[in-house]
Structure 1
Amino acid sequence: MLVLQVVLVGLFGLCLLLLAGFSLTQWQLTRLARRAYATTPTPQPPTPAEWPRLTVQLPLYNEQFVAERLIEACAALRYPPHRLHLQVLDDSTDATVGLVAAQVARYQAQGLRIDHVRRPDRVGYKAGALAHGLTQTDGELIAIFDADFLPEPDFLERVVPHFFLDEPDGPRTGVVQTRWGHLNEEFSLLTTLQAFGLNAHFFVEQPGRQAGGHFLNFNGTGGIWRRTCIEDAGGWSADTLTEDLDLSYRAQLRGWQFRYLPQVAAPAELPATMDALKSQQFRWTKGAAETARKHLGAVWRSRQPLSTRLYATFHLLNSSVFVAILLMAVLSVPLVFVRALGAEELRPAFRLASLFLLALAPLVFYFHTAWQQAARYRTSPGPGFVGQLVLFLAFSMGLSLHNARAVLLGLVGRRSAFIRTPKLGLLHRQGALQGRHYRTGRLLNGLTWLEGLLTVYFGVGIAAGIYLREFGMLPTHLLLATGYGLVFYYSVRHA
C-alpha cells in the first residue's frame, strides 16, 4: 500500500513539475512581450524602389463554402499587377473544382495573372501542393493563405517592405508572419474559447519570442516567405503534420531570421463544430510532437544560445503538456480516497494540487493577452475575462485525452493522413451550420464515449471530495468535469 501511495504521489508530482516548467516559460514570454510593447513600435518601412515578384499561393481541398470569397479577397490585394501572381493550388474532389475554375476564368478575363493549378494526385497533402506550386512560378516572395482567410487589400503593401530593412550581411529575413484575426469569434462559445487561446499565442508568445531573439514559427498561413529561404532550408516536407513548424525550424537552424508583425492582422474563420476543431487539434498537437522528434537533437547540437535552445525545447514540446494534464487528472481521483484513509504523508501532494491552476496557466499570461487585445481596440478587458479564462482552462483540460493521444502517436512516429479543417463560410453570428456541415470522420467514436465516462469519473471525484471533506482537489475536479462535459456535449450535439 505504501509503495502504491509513493508511486501515485511521485507521478502526480512529476506532472505538476512539468506544468510548472511550461508556466515559467509562459511567464518569461509575458515579461519579454511586455518589454516589447513598452518600446517605441518600429515604423512602417519605406516602400521598396522596385517591388519584388510575389506569388500568392492558395492551397485548397474541398472548400466549396469559402473558396470563392478567398479568391475574391486575394484578387483585391493591392500590388503592382506585373509583379503579382496568384496560384490556386486546388486538390479538390468535389464541387470546389467548378467554383474555382469559374472564378479563375473571370479574373483572367480581367487581366489578372491567376492560375488554377491541379495535380493528378494529392501526394504530400498541403506541403506537396505548396512545393508543386513553386515549380510553376517565378515569385521571389511567396505569400500563403489558407481557405478560411480573408486578407485586407493592403496586406502585401504593409508586409513586403519588412523584407528590406537594413541587413548588413545580406538579406536574411526568411519569413514575415502576421497575427491572425477572427471572423466568427462571437459565433458560439466554441469559437469564443478558441479565439481566447489563439490570442495568447499571437499577442504574447510570438512577440515574446521575437523580443528575446528566440525561434519563431510560421503559422502555416497569413505570412510571406522568401523563396530562397524555402529552398535553402530544403523545401516543403510532408513527413510531419505541421509542415509549417518543420520548415520554420529548418530555416532558422540555417541562420534565417523571422519577423512577426502583431500590428497586421489576417482575419480567418475559426472551426465552429467539434469534429472540425478535433481534426485541427489532432493535426497541430501530433505535428508538433513529430517536429520535436525530428528537430530537438539538431536544436541542441546547434550553436544557438542556451536560452534559445531551452525556449525551442519548450516550444516544440508544448503539446506534451496534454499528456501531463491527462495523467495528473486520472491520478487525482484515487488520491482523494487514499488521502481520506489517513495517509498523512500525502498532505504535501494535496498542497501542491492547490497550486495546480497556477502551474497550468499563470493569470498574468492570459491577462496580458486580454490587455493587449483590448489595447488594439482602445478598450479595457471586459468583466467576462475571468469567466472566459476559467472556461478556457476547463475546455483545454477537456481536450487532454484527445490531444494526449495525438502527442503520443507523434512521439512514437506513427504516420497518419493530413485531415484538413472544414471551413463553413461563417461570419460573426451570421449563417447556420445546417447545409454546410462537412465531416472529417466519425465523431461519436470510442474516444468520444470515453470522454463522456471521464466526465462522470471527475464528477465522482467532486462528490467524494465533498463527502470525505477533502477539498484540495475540488477546484481541479470541477474544471475537469466541466471541460470533459463541454467536449462530450459538443461532440454529441454536432454529431
Structure 2
Amino acid sequence: MYGWVLSLWTGSLLLFGPEALGIAGSMNGFLAGSVVGFLVVSVAVFWLYGIYNIVVQVFGYLPRSRPEKLSLEEARGMDAAVLLPTFNDFSWETAEDCVDQVHDATLYILDDSTEQEYRELVDEFAESFDAVEVIRRDSREGFKAGALNHAIQMIEADYFAIVDSDERISPGFLRQALRYFSSPDVGFVQANHDTNEQSSRFAQLLGKGIDIHWDRYMPQRNRYGFVMFLGHGAVIRKEAWKMAGGFPEIVSEDLAFATRIRENGYRGVFAEDVVCGEDFPEDYYAMWKRHLKWSAGTTEYIIKELPRFLKSRATVTEKLDVAFPVLNLPLSTLFLAYILAVTAVFGLGLELDFSPGFYGMTVATLASPVLSFLVDMRDKPRQLVKFLAVSTAVYCSLAPTAVKKIVEILRGGDAFFHTTPKQENGVHVSHQARVMPFTVVSGVFVSLVGLVYDLPLLAVGSAFLLAPALILWNRESKGSRWVRRLAWMPLTFLLLGVVGTGLSIFGYSDFVTAAGLAGLSGLSGIQLARV
C-alpha cells in the first residue's frame, strides 16, 4: 500500500516538478523566489497526503483479512475486568452496559471527579449493583493514563477492557473481544465503533463522517498497517501493559501505548465485528475543546514518543502508518503558512502560470479526503452536499486553534487533557470569540485579502470568522438559522474559486469575473442553505 503511495507521489513529482521549479526559478528577486518556492514545496506535501488519502481509501474497498479467533469456550475461561474512567461525566447507562456483560467480570469505576454530584452518583451506582468497585486517588496526576495505571496495578485480572463514559457496549462485547487474543503477541484488541443516536443536529450531521472513517480507514490496518489503540472500546493484555511500563502519562496515552508495546513484540488487532457506540461532540464548543486536546496530544506525542518508535524494531510499513496520520494534524500550521504565502503572491503582483495538469493534480489531492464520503453517501445527494458544506466550515474553522496550540507545545508549553463536554454547553458567542481571538483576527485578515484577490482565500477567511458563531448551531433562534445558512458560504466560495481558476487556465476569463461577483455577493451560499 505504501509502495503505491510513494510511487505515485514520486511519479507526480517527476511529471510536474520541473514545471514548478522552473516557475520558482523564473521569479525576480529573493523574496519572490522564496515565496513561490515555499508554495511549490507546500503543494508537494499536499500532494503526498492527497495521494495517501486516495490509496488508503481504495485499499479500504479491497477484501479484508479476518484475524484468527478463539472459540467462545476458550474466551469464557479468560480472567478479565472492565475499567470505566470518569471525570465529572459519569453515565449510569454506560456503567449498566459494563455490568451487564455476559462474561464474568468486575466493573472498576476509576472516579477522578471533583464535583460532588458525580461522586455521589458513582457511589449510588456502586451500591446498587454487585461486582462493582470504585477506585479513587488523591490527585489527577497523569490524567486518564494516571488513573488507569493506578487502578491496574491493584487489579489481578489478566485482561482489562477500557470503556469511556459516552460509550455504549453490547452484552457480548467483552467475550467477543477476548476471542481475538488467539496469539500470545496480541497486546490489545480495538473494537469497531458507530456513533450513538443523538438528539443534537450538530452531532447527527457530522457524526456520519466518523462512521465512514471507522469503516474505511481501520479494518485494513490488520493486513496493511499498524493497528491503533484509540483509548476506549478496547481490551488490553495486562502482560503487555507491564512490558510497556504502564500507559505513558501523556495526553495521547493511547497511541503512545500502542507504539510502546510494539517495541516489545506485541501488536494490536482491530475487531471489525465487535461494534461499540460512541458520542460525537454535541455542539461546536465540545468539538473545539476536543480539537484542542488532539492538537496538544498529537504534538506532545511527536516530540516525546515518535522518534523512539521510529528507532524501534517495527517494520517500515508500521512506522509509516503511524507517522502519516500523526503528522497530518500539525499540517494545519503549514496550511496557515501556505495561506500567507498565497497572500504574498497577490501582494507582490506575481503571475504564476501553471499548466492544466498541475492544477488538476492539486485539485484532485485537495478533494481526496472527501472521496469516501462521495462513495458512501452517493445515494443521498442532498445529505452529502449538506455534510460537505458544513464539514468544510467546521473543520476549516478549527485550523487556527490547532496552530496556536501546536506552537505553544513546541515552545515548551504543557499539554493539557481537555475533557470533551458530554452535553450541549450554553456558551455565548462573545465568550467563544474571547477565547479564540487568533481565529477571529486570522479570519478578518484572510477575508480582506480574499475580497481583493482570491475566492478560495475568502472561503478560508469566512470559515474562521464563523467559528465563534458556530456554537449557536443547535439553538432555535433567528441568529442560529442565519449561522446555519452562512455555514454554506466557505464551500461555495471554494468551489467558485476552484472552478473559476481552472477555467481561467483555459482562457475563459469572463466566467471568472461572473463567478467572483456571485461568490462575493454571498447569494449562492444563502440560497444553497435553503435546500
- For Structure 1 versus Structure 2, the TM-score category normalised by the shorter chain is 0.7 to 0.9
With the length of structure 1 as denominator, give the TM-score of the two structures: 0.81
Map residues 107-118 of structure 1 onto 2, 5 A cutoff.
Answer: 107=129, 112-118=130-136
Instruction: Tell me, in whole angstroms, the C-alpha distance in 1 between the residues paired with 2:383 and 2:262.
Output: 39
In the alignment, does 2:378 pair up with 1:367? no
One-letter amino acid of the counterpart of residue 264, structure 1: V
Is the partner of 1:27 in helix, strand or coil? Answer: helix
Instruction: Tell me, in whole angstroms, the C-alpha distance in 1 between the residues paired with 2:383 and 2:459.
Output: 17
Instruction: Tell me, in whole angstroms, the C-alpha distance in 2 between the residues paired with 1:101 and 1:357.
Output: 56
In the alignment, does 2:327 pair up with 1:317? yes
Larger Rg: 2
Q: State the partner residue of 1:175.
A: 188
Q: CA RMSD in A?
A: 3.0
Instruction: Tell me, in whole angstroms, the C-alpha distance in 2 between the residues paired with 1:124 and 1:222.
Output: 20
Among candidates 416, 428, 444, match of residue 456 of structure 1: 444
In the alignment, does 2:259 pair up with 1:244? no
Q: State the partner residue of 1:198.
A: 210
Q: State the partner residue of 2:32.
A: 5
Residue 365 of structure 1 and its aligned partner are, at CA, apart by 3.9
Residue 404 of structure 1 and its aligned partner are, at CA, apart by 1.7
Instruction: Tell me, in whole angstroms, the C-alpha distance in 2 between the residues paired with 1:464 and 1:359.
Output: 26
Q: State the partner residue of 2:9.
A: none
In the alignment, does 2:160 pair up with 1:133? no
8 Å CA contact 1:15, 1:324 repeated in 2? yes
8 Å CA contact 1:52, 1:140 repeated in 2? yes
In the alignment, does 2:112 pair up with 1:72? no
Map residues 87-486 of structure 1 onto 2, 5 A cutoff.
Answer: 87-94=108-115, 95-107=117-129, 112-163=130-181, 165=182, 167=183, 171-184=184-197, 187-189=200-202, 192-193=205-206, 195-212=207-224, 214-238=225-249, 240-338=250-348, 341=349, 343-344=350-351, 346-348=352-354, 356-362=362-368, 365-367=371-373, 371=376, 380=379, 382-424=381-423, 433=424, 443-445=432-434, 447=436, 449-465=437-453, 473-474=454-455, 476-486=456-466
Q: Number of paired residues?
A: 445
8 Å CA contact 1:282, 1:406 repeated in 2? yes
Among candidates 85, 105, 128, match of residue 59 of structure 1: 85
In structure 2, the CA distance between the partners of 1:409 and 1:446, relative to structure 1 (3 Å rule), is same
In structure 2, the CA distance between the partners of 1:46 and 1:438, relative to structure 1 (3 Å rule), is farther
For each residue in 1:405-436, what CA deviation from the matched residue of structure 2 results, as whole angstroms up to 9, or x when unmatched? 22333344421332211112xxxxxxxx4xx6
In structure 2, the CA distance between the partners of 1:43 and 1:208, relative to structure 1 (3 Å rule), is closer
Instruction: Tell me, in whole angstroms, the C-alpha distance in 2 between the residues paired with 1:403 and 1:352.
Output: 29
Is the partner of 2:82 in helix, strand or coil? Answer: strand
Instruction: Tell me, in whole angstroms, the C-alpha distance in 1 between the residues paired with 2:335 and 2:356.
Output: 16
Is the partner of 2:277 in helix, strand or coil? Answer: strand
Instruction: Tell me, in whole angstroms, the C-alpha distance in 1 between the residues paired with 2:300 and 2:209.
Output: 22
Structure 1: which 5+ residue stretches go unaligned?
A: 425-432, 466-472
Instruction: Tell me, in whole angstroms, the C-alpha distance in 1 between the residues paired with 2:393 and 2:201.
Output: 16
With the length of structure 2 as denominator, give the TM-score of the two structures: 0.76
Is the partner of 1:452 in helix, strand or coil? Answer: helix
Instruction: Tell me, in whole angstroms, the C-alpha distance in 2 between the residues paired with 1:188 and 1:400.
Output: 23
One-letter amino acid of the counterpart of residue 181, structure 1: D
Relative contact order higher in (CA < 8 Å, ≥ 6 apart): 1
Instruction: Tell me, in whole angstroms, the C-alpha distance in 2 between the residues paired with 1:445 and 1:29.
Output: 39
Residue 42 of structure 1 and its aligned partner are, at CA, apart by 5.8
In the alignment, does 2:48 pair up with 1:17? no
Q: State the partner residue of 2:7.
A: none
Residue 454 of structure 1 and its aligned partner are, at CA, apart by 3.0
Residue 332 of structure 1 and its aligned partner are, at CA, apart by 2.5
Q: Considering fraction of residues, name the structure with more helix.
A: 2
8 Å CA contact 2:396, 2:464 repeated in 1? yes
Identity %: 21
Deviates further, 52-61 or 313-322: 313-322
